[in-house]
A and B are shown apart, each in its own frame.
Chain A
Amino acid sequence: MFVKQIRLSSQARDQLIRLKTRTGIQNWNVLCRWALCVSLKEPTPPTPVEIPADSNVEMTWETFGGDNYELYAALVRERCVKDGLEPEDEVAATQFRLHLHRGISYLATPNKIKNIGDLVALTCETKP
């Protein structure tokens, strides 16, 4: 895997804490998966910015991805290719971090996700 350990920014951590109370989801990793996918779904590539790893929230890639951990890596690499980037480990790791944090901010937008229903309803918009 191109990332072994994931450590969130403290801003992302605060946003996730809010999301936890709103959605009732207790696990960081579950919310992180949603954040990643929400960002990957966006047509525009994330803006490359420096994201500090200044929080105490940390998890392994396997914890992050659960049963589908390899597939989440594949999704990130595919997105790199789509955005015209070399899907090398280093590039993929950076993109992953950008997508994850962008997704967290997106979900934490005020009034976007008020409860678990709003979160799950995001999947109703895409065709199965």
Chain B
Amino acid sequence: MILEELTLFNFCLYGGEQVINLAPVRRHGKLRPVVLFGGINGGGKTTILDAVQLALYGQRARCSKRNNQAYDLFLRECIHRNVDPSDGASVGLSFRYASDGEEHLYEVNRRWHGAGATVREKLEVYRDGERDKWLSDNWNTVVEEIIPIGVSRLFFFDAEQIRFLAEDSSSNDALGTAVKALLGLDLAERLIADSKILESRLVKESSLSDGDSTKIEELEQQIGQRDEETKQLKAQLATAESERQRTHEEVRRAKRAFAKVGGEHWEKRENQQKAVENLKVRDTELKIKLVQSAAGSLPISLVRPLLERAQQQDVSEDQAARSRVVHEMLEDRDRQIMESLSAEIPKEQLRAVDQILTADRQGRLFDGDTKPRHQLSERARSRLVNLLVAELAAEQESAKSLVEHLKQVTHDIEAVSRSIAAAPEEDAIKEVAEALTEKAKEAGALEDQVRKLQKELDRAKSERESAEKSLESLRSRLLKDEVFKVEESARMAELASKTQEIMKQFLSRASAAKIDRLSSYVTESFRFLLRKKTLVESVQIDPESFSISLLASDGTSISKERLSEGEKQIFAVSVLWGLARASARPLPSIIDTPMARLDATHRNHLVERYFPNASHQVIILSTDTEVDQEYYETLSPHLSHAYHLDYNEKKQFTEATEGYFWEAHAVGAGSN
């Protein structure tokens, strides 16, 4: 498919009729696939994308500015501001498309004008220049053959909005539909569905016993009910899910508020109070021990020098006492000696002996002056010695450790008490704490609800499956039964069931094979475009759920959330590129605002590697900072032609003129 021409008439920013050539040219035998549109913000770039989609899909088009607006209201607003709505507007798109070996030129023209309160829309389709009524009437079906709307999203995209592919798991459904359509798997699915319908019709047409027909009706009813239930549950689940996310955010906010008013101090307070209680017990124990040690000999250690003097005195006293005893004994003995000698030696000699003995006794008298001061008992004396030798020192030592211990405990009590005092009062924090508990409770309840709904959903699904299975087996039994007297019906029924069987097998094998191929294409594209070559080893796509996972070289999976915004965008582009290559459908690409979030390396990669190779026709809608002068140079070998979308203040509309921002008319269309 090649887009040839886009004609805008009074459409949005574009006043009057403007014809834009989209077909890429060949130069020197080489196709130049890139058609570049340059426009500043609000210049009408996205309008080009919208116009293509609107022309093709009408009411079903996902236009950027429509949101949930009613279609006719949207159309009315798409009429250029300065034009009378009754004059109307139109978008026209012509493209070449080959089917059944023949290429045709199609022209789709969608016109509308406001008539009073209503908007009248008219669609005309031309084939090879001739108006084709059948095509015009059945365009919605026809366009699904050419480029299904689910697929168009993957080829005509706003790069900002495709990041969903790299984000949540809810994208799996959308991706799954697109992948199936692109890879042609939807045909097989449709065939299965059709043959089921045929089967059930055959069963119905045949004459059934009342029991069987009620049974079938019941089962069909069941399936319908389950489908309805599933739908409701899904809606409920979505609501609960978003509620849950909201409450999570609220819980986070409540936690922050709680921390701000000192909630953590407050939470610690209970422990701290316990700690203080323990410390106080310890304090009491220590004080009891100190009182006990104070009752011993400890005070005497204060006057140890006096005690030492008392001991010296005591020793002297003791020695004096003993020497007095000796003195008395010697006196006795000397008196006896003198008495014995007085009869035998002369008086003079006797006096001399007496003098000698007296002097000797005087000399032996120790410290004769020492008066007894203390007269300690033996018991007191041994206590004195004990105290000085060991007891006082020991008591002082243990007293010291007790005192230090007590100091530590007192200090700790003060420190913890201060921290307790720093905690906010219960009243001050009560409200915030209650809010937090409340929110946490709410979040928990929602969590439960989500789980419950999920369970119910699973149950509904499995019930539906089992109902469908019993219906199928009932039908196939009936089909084999003799009920089918008519040979033709029997043959058709048999074929239908066989077709289903085969198609199911085909589907599962083909899916696996195609998904495999798709995975490898996506991996290749991603690694080709990504700056960090070693980040991702491969990209895996689950053939059942279509969920995409990234694997590192060591086989561990990398969460998509871990990718940066830029990497996500690159990833999304890679997925699309991989899809385009895997589908082998020659469809053009339209890429809007492709590089907003990317760094220089990734921009380089996109410009050098992706744009020239994305498709045989690549329409790029860019601002002057995205494809700038440098990238313009890089792209120019692949560039067919460029348009500059310039808002003309005087005329009050945007004009598409050939050229690029700084290169007006430099590259002319069709100037080969």
Contacts and interface: CB of A to CB of B under 8 A. Distances in A.
B1 to A, nearest CB: 96
Given A73-B374, A117-B287, A38 B302 contact: yes
B299 A34 contact: yes
A87 B310 CA distance: 12
B256 interface: no
Interface stretch (A9-17, A45-53, A55-63, A118-126): A118-126
B300 A71 contact: yes
A18 interface: no
A25 interface: yes
Interface string A27-54: 1001001101110110000000000000
Contacts of A41: 302-303
Contacts of B373: 74, 77, 81, 87
Contact of B290 (A26, A37, A68, A117): A117
B131 interface: no
Interface in A69-96: 70-75, 77-79, 81-82, 87
Given A67-B383, A117-B287, A74 B374 contact: yes
Contacts of B396: 123-124, 126, 128
B298 interface: yes
B287 A116 contact: yes
B122 interface: no
Given A70-B376, A71-B380, A120 B310 contact: no
B383 A71 contact: yes
A24 interface: yes
User: Which residue among B286, B392, B396 has the maximum number of chain A CB atoms within 10 Å of its CB?
Assistant: B396
Given A74-B376, A75-B306, A116-B290, A37 B295 contact: no
A71 B384 contact: yes
A34 B310 CA distance: 19
Given A78-B313, A128-B392, A37 B302 contact: yes
Interface size class of B (residues with CB under 8 A): 35 or more
Nearest to B287: A116
Chain B interface SS verdict (over half): helix
B302 A40 contact: yes
Contacts of B309: 78, 81-82
Given A40-B303, A40-B306, A128-B397, A70 B380 contact: yes
A72 B406 CA distance: 29
A105 interface: no
Contacts of B384: 71, 74
B387 interface: yes
Contacts of A37: 299-300, 302-303
A112 to B, nearest CB: 14
Contacts of A115: 287
B307 interface: yes
A41 B384 CA distance: 18
Interface string B273-315: 0000000000000111011011101111111101101100110
Given A71-B307, A74-B314, A128-B396, A120 B403 contact: yes
A66 to B, nearest CB: 8
Given A23-B294, A67-B383, A68-B383, A120 B300 contact: no
B310 A71 contact: yes
Contacts of A74: 307, 310, 313-314, 373-374, 376, 380, 384
A36 B299 contact: yes
B123 interface: no
B295 A27 contact: yes
Nearest to A116: B290
B403 A71 contact: no
Nearest to A31: B294
Nearest to A36: B299
B407 interface: yes
Given A78-B306, A120-B399, A123-B396, A24 B287 contact: yes
B377 interface: yes
A25 B288 CA distance: 9
A87 B392 CA distance: 25
B147 interface: no
A117 B310 contact: no
Given A70-B377, A124-B396, A82 B306 contact: yes
A30 to B, nearest CB: 5
B421 interface: no
B201 interface: no
Contact of B295 (A25, A72, A87, A121): A25
A44 B393 CA distance: 26
A79 B306 contact: yes
Contacts of B399: 120, 123-124
User: Which residue among B297, B373, B402 has the maximum number of chain A CB atoms within 10 Å of its CB?
Assistant: B373
A123 B374 contact: no
A23 B298 CA distance: 15
Contacts of A24: 287-288, 291
Contacts of B403: 117, 120-121, 124
Interface in B521-567: none
Interface in B388-418: 392-393, 396-397, 399-400, 402-403, 406-407, 410
A116 B291 contact: yes
Given A128-B392, A128-B397, A75 B376 contact: no
Given A74-B376, A124-B399, A119 B294 contact: yes
A79 B97 CA distance: 127
A26 B288 CA distance: 11
Contacts of A126: 301-302, 304, 396
A120 B397 CA distance: 11
Contact of B301 (A70, A82, A123): A123
A75 B307 contact: yes
User: Which residue among A26, A70, A72, A120 has the maximum number of chain B CB atoms within 10 Å of its CB?
Assistant: A120
A67 B293 CA distance: 14
Contacts of A121: 403
11 contacts: A36-B299, A68-B387, A71-B383, A73-B374, A78-B309, A117-B290, A119-B290, A123-B400, A124-B399, A124-B400, A126-B304
Interface of B: 286-288, 290-291, 293-295, 297-304, 306-307, 309-310, 313-314, 373-374, 376-377, 379-380, 383-384, 387, 392-393, 396-397, 399-400, 402-403, 406-407, 410
Interface of A: 23-27, 30, 33-34, 36-38, 40-41, 67-68, 70-75, 77-79, 81-82, 87, 115-117, 119-124, 126-128
The 10 nearest A-B residue pairs measured at CB = A70-B380, A37-B299, A128-B393, A74-B310, A37-B302, A116-B290, A117-B406, A34-B299, A128-B396, A40-B303
Given A74-B310, A77-B374, A79-B306, 10 more contacts: A23-B291, A25-B291, A37-B299, A68-B297, A70-B380, A71-B300, A78-B307, A82-B309, A123-B298, A124-B396
